[in-house]
Amino acid sequence: MGLITEFKDYLLVRRRYSSRTASIYCDVVEDYLRFAYPETPCGQGGPDSSLEDGDILEALRFQLIRGYVSRMMDRSLDARTVNLHLSALSTFCNYLVRQKKLTSNPVKEITRPKEKKRLPSFFTPEALAEYFDSPCADGYLPVRDRMVVTLLFDTGLRRAEAASLRISDIDLSRLTISVIGKGNKQRIIPIVGSLAEKIGDYLDLREEFAAKSGKASSDAFFLTDKGAPAYVEFINRVVKAELSAIKGISGKKTPHTLRHSFATALLNDGADLNSIKEVLGHSSLAATEVYTHNSFEKLKEIYKTAHPRAKK
């Protein structure tokens, strides 16, 4: 078993990364090795197995990594993409340090390019009201799709958290949802009574659907059309299909935009940043503070329409 295969197992088992994220990290490591050894089968697009473990460790040097960054910048990759590559390489090096195969992480010495600040996009309350006020067809599938959007917006769940949600994670008597988020961290999210009522109605339909599809023993909260547990791409498709039918909703129709919309709505309605941080499962307050920019943009719009001098 090679170093990269062991690294992927570590990400999946110990770090609890999704298979998609683990594959992306390993792809970055392999891309770096192709840069480091351009004359080998690895460098010519072949598998990394053409390299010995010692060759991989030898390639993880400061000067070579800095050259890799320069090549990415020469290819006009944006700063965010470059930093994502460096984060993946840094995680790989940290893993090797823990395994005592490297003495230190050379990526930590690399100066990272500065990223442009990007405000998170979000749906306006008016646009979402048009969606939630629209009629929903009967039956498990349409009600499930409505529940996907409702749950994401009412709780701020990440798409992977929604996909892996289990019935046993929901306590309707206490009005809470237990979630295992990034880094295997558990958090408790409160839910309002109206959402709890919708969840109860949904679970009745889900029970009937699961029994008909032979999946009655499954604890997955969301089931696909065939009765299998939901997965991340399934959640993506449902959100896009549901919101594409609403004229007032533009921009990216993704679970993450619903998460941004949830956080922005909480902040605009007076919730404090620390409370929003806990509900979203952010590891630091800095990740939550980005939503204050959206609130400031709203304040500017109010200023323009309400200020007597602005009206003139």
Going by C-alpha positions, the residue among 186, 179, 177 that lies closest to residue 160 is 179
Give whole-number Cα distances, 227 to 215, 230, 251, in Å: 6, 9, 31
Catalytic residue list contains 260: no
The owner of tokens 């304040």 is 299
How is residue 260 written in tokens?
A: 């941004």
Which of the residues 182, 187, 215, 293 is marked catalytic?
A: 182
Backbone φ and ψ for 230, nearest 5 degrees, come out as -65, 160
Catalytic residue list contains 187: no
Which of the residues 8, 198, 253, 282 is marked catalytic?
A: 282
CA separation for the pair 267, 291 (Å, rounded):
7
Catalytic residue list contains 307: no
Catalytic residue list contains 182: yes
Which of the residues 215, 256, 293, 298 is marked catalytic?
A: 256
CA separation for the pair 165, 294 (Å, rounded):
29
Which of the residues 25, 37, 231, 291 is marked catalytic?
A: 291
As a whole number of Å, the end-to-end CA separation of the chain is 72
Going by C-alpha positions, the residue among 66, 28, 62, 63 that lies closest to residue 48 is 28
CA separation for the pair 174, 191 (Å, rounded):
9
Give CA 216 to chain center in angstroms: 29
Whether the CA torsion 127, 132, 133, 135 is positive or negative: it is positive
Give CA 140 to chain center in angstroms: 26
CA separation for the pair 283, 152 (Å, rounded):
20
Which of the residues 158, 185, 240, 300 is marked catalytic?
A: 158
DSSP SS3 for 27: helix
Which of the residues 85, 146, 198, 259 is marked catalytic?
A: 259
Catalytic residue list contains 100: no
Crossing angle for the helix pair 140-155 and 255-268, to the nearest 10 degrees = 50
Q: Of all residues in the chain, what percent are helix, strand and coil, respectively (each to 5)?
A: 60, 5, 35
Residues with a known catalytic role: 158, 182, 256, 259, 282, 291
